[in-house]
Amino acid sequence: MLELVGLTRSYEEGDGVHDVFRDVDLQVGAGESVVLLGPSGSGKSTLLNLVSGIDLPTAGDVRVAGVSIPSLSERQRTLFRRDRIGFVFQFFNLIPTLTVRENLLLPQELAGRVTEADRSRAASLLERVGLGDRAGAYPDRLSGGERQRIAIARALAHEPDLLLADEPTGNLDAETGARVLSLLRELVRDTGRTMLVVTHSEDVVDALADRVVELRAGRLVERSRLDAGSHATGAAAPASGADPARDAADAEAGQR
């Protein structure tokens, strides 16, 4: 469902070039939930922007459901995001002047094709997230946890091929965040969606991950199942595109 092939993103910086990441590969299968883990500033959001076509790579390719995102025009990328990608953001990004129901139907409304099936699916999702009675409410009348539950329902309402989540509980307290993660996992499993989550939180890893990929110094490194279960930060299996020999040489150079 998602492929990164030789993906590189660089920026000019002073007299040189800064690589956010270089020549990385990743494959995410249909129905799989992959968590991309890394500290702030490691390039997680940049990678998410490349996957969604908000930004373009310096080199390499991003393929979603077999479609090469960089090969699309700007308008085609916008339409692809609207129709085939769902987003869950840290700060909810609900439209304050629209009701809960209208927020859920916004992608279809923008496409000019809201159907009875769309309305029925939106109502069903609101029931699933426990907010069926708030369809006519405005976002400012909801708590943070309620807003994030609405954001999750909106992300799934147009049946996207790929769901992207950026720090989905970063703006919630621990108890509310745990409930939201449980709901997100349940809905993704039930709908069979493919999901890529970026976070720095091990709680998100525990709740959502089928696989964990860490972004380390511009390279993707995949945790082994043992590492993922124990939160180990030592040995980890390199993701496709990583170079163990180069990593060892870099480590040796860093000790000098």
Cα 168 to Cα 20, 70, 101: the distances in Å are 23, 26, 21
For residue 184, being part of any structural domain is answered with yes
pLDDT tens-digit map of 57-91: 999 999 999 999 999 999 999 999 988 999 988 88
Q: CB-based contacts of 87: which residues, under 8 Å, 6+ apart?
A: 52, 93, 155, 163, 164, 165, 166
For residue 121, being part of any structural domain is answered with yes
Segments of the chain with pLDDT less than 70: 224-256
Total domain count, the chain: 1
Cα 84 to Cα 29, 81, 107, 152, 176: the distances in Å are 16, 6, 10, 15, 28
What's the pLDDT score for residue 224? 64
Residue 111 has which token pair?
A: 């496409």
Do residues 92 and 148 lie in contact, with contact meaning Cβ atoms separated by under 8 Å?
yes
Q: How far apart are CA 213 and CA 47, in angstroms?
A: 12
For residue 130, being part of any structural domain is answered with yes
What's the pLDDT score for residue 228? 45
For 29-130, list the strands marked E by DSSP: 33-37, 59-64, 67-68, 85-88
For residue 213, being part of any structural domain is answered with yes
Closest CA to 64 of 79, 82, 81, 78: 81
What's the pLDDT score for residue 252? 42
Do residues 169 and 206 lie in contact, with contact meaning Cβ atoms separated by under 8 Å?
no
What's the pLDDT score for residue 169? 84
For residue 256, being part of any structural domain is answered with no
What's the pLDDT score for residue 112? 82
Buried b (16+ CB within 10 A) or exposed e, 146-162: bbbbbbbbbbbbbebbb
**Integer-rounded Cα radius of gyration of the chain:** 19
The pTM for the full model equals 0.81
For residue 204, being part of any structural domain is answered with yes
CATH number, domain containing residue 218: 3.40.50.300
Site of tokens 């998602």 = 2
- Largest Cα separation within the chain, whole Å, is 66
What's the pLDDT score for residue 64? 95
Q: Domain range for residue 216?
A: 2-251
